Amino acid sequence: MENREVVIEVKDLVRKFGDRTVLNGVNLKVHRGEIFVIMGGSGCGKSTLLRHIIGNLKPTSGRVELLGTDITDFYGTELDGVRKKIGMSFQSSALFDSMTVAENVSLPLREHTKLEQSVIDIMVKMKLELVGLRGFEDLLPSEISGGMKKRVGLARAIAMDPEIIFYDEPTAGLDPIVAAVVDKLIIDLARKLAITSVVVTHDMKSVMTIADSVAMLYEGKVLETGTVEEIKNSKNEMVQQFINGDPDGPIRFFQQKDDYLEHLTQ
């Protein structure tokens, strides 16, 4: 991967909310075509980092480059220009309940293109086929399962044929089999459509199955990056504790409110 083009570069990213530092100097590089996983515990800043990479949030300091463009200071139409080339699958599926599956998937196409409805219909069919939901066009979100909703979210994320797709916790809340189906789909989409994929997750099974590269985020910093093999063999005790899901180790869990609050302002 190292010799491929860099499509995302995050440089010394710091983000404070009030006097609380959530991201504390994040550096990472994502190469074209790879599945790059950002893993880390609840609340360590994964979703916040993702929102900075897609330009939804602005850093306190540091830079974000997306597809060769520094988007740190981009807003409005400038940002939309780059955004058209990326797809986003949200932590909650974020479907509109009153719209059918097909209408949900067609949203980006209706918003960003002037294509005729008949063309959009064909494109939506193709995307639904890719996520294994052929024939589901007319159902409402309330009529399908959580796993299917995730897949509709994926179909919508690839509607515009993005160069990069971002997934926030794609397998959270799914049973192990459905989670494995979603993992397989992420790999399929990445390989078939040659999409660069950035996946935020704390699902270790997912990490081991899908990742070409892994970055472990802890307390607003990247603790370690590498291939799955390299991460598995990491000498870092925190990385090992996280991979093994060990309650005892250097990563602290707060049982007293005062300790927690003190830690937040450190």
260 binds, among Mg ion, ligand ATP, none (CB under 5 to 8 A by kind): none
182 binds, among ligand ATP, Mg ion, none (CB under 5 to 8 A by kind): none
Q: Which is nearer to ligand ATP, 128 or 165 (CB)?
A: 165
238 binds, among Mg ion, ligand ATP, none (CB under 5 to 8 A by kind): none
Q: Which is nearer to Mg ion, 31 or 51 (CB)?
A: 51
Q: Which is nearer to Mg ion, 136 or 167 (CB)?
A: 167
Q: Which is nearer to Mg ion, 39 or 211 (CB)?
A: 39
Q: 61: closest CA among 128, 10, 5?
A: 10
Q: Is 211 exposed, middle or buried (0-12, 13-18, 19+ CB in 10 A)?
A: buried
The residues binding ligand ATP (CB under 6 A) are: 17, 22, 40, 42-48, 202
**Which residues does 177 contact at the CB level (< 8 Å), separation at least 6?**
none
**Contact call for residue 51 and Mg ion (CB under 5 A):** no
59 binds, among Mg ion, ligand ATP, none (CB under 5 to 8 A by kind): none
**Contact call for residue 41 and Mg ion (CB under 5 A):** no
Q: DSSP E strands: which ranges in 181-231? A: 196-201, 213-218, 221-226
Cβ atoms of 189 and 195 within 8 Å: the answer is yes
**Contact call for residue 234 and Mg ion (CB under 5 A):** no
Give the nearest distance from C-beta 57 to Mg ion in angstroms.
Answer: 13
Q: Which is nearer to Mg ion, 41 or 147 (CB)?
A: 41
**Contact call for residue 241 and Mg ion (CB under 5 A):** no
Q: In DSSP terms, which residues pair with 226 in a beta bridge? A: 214
Give the nearest distance from C-beta 43 to ligand ATP in angstroms.
Answer: 4
With residues binned 3-state (H G I as helix, E B as strand, rest as coil), the percentages for the chain, rounded to 5, are 40, 25, 40
- In three-state secondary structure terms, 254 is coil
**Contact call for residue 47 and Mg ion (CB under 5 A):** yes
Q: Which is nearer to ligand ATP, 55 or 108 (CB)?
A: 55
Determine the Cα–Cα distance for residues 173 and 187; give it in Å rounded to an integer.
Answer: 19
**Contact call for residue 172 and Mg ion (CB under 5 A):** no
The H or E element containing residue 166 is: strand 164-168
Determine the Cα–Cα distance for residues 38 and 97; give it in Å rounded to an integer.
Answer: 30
Residues that bind Mg ion (CB under 5 A): 47
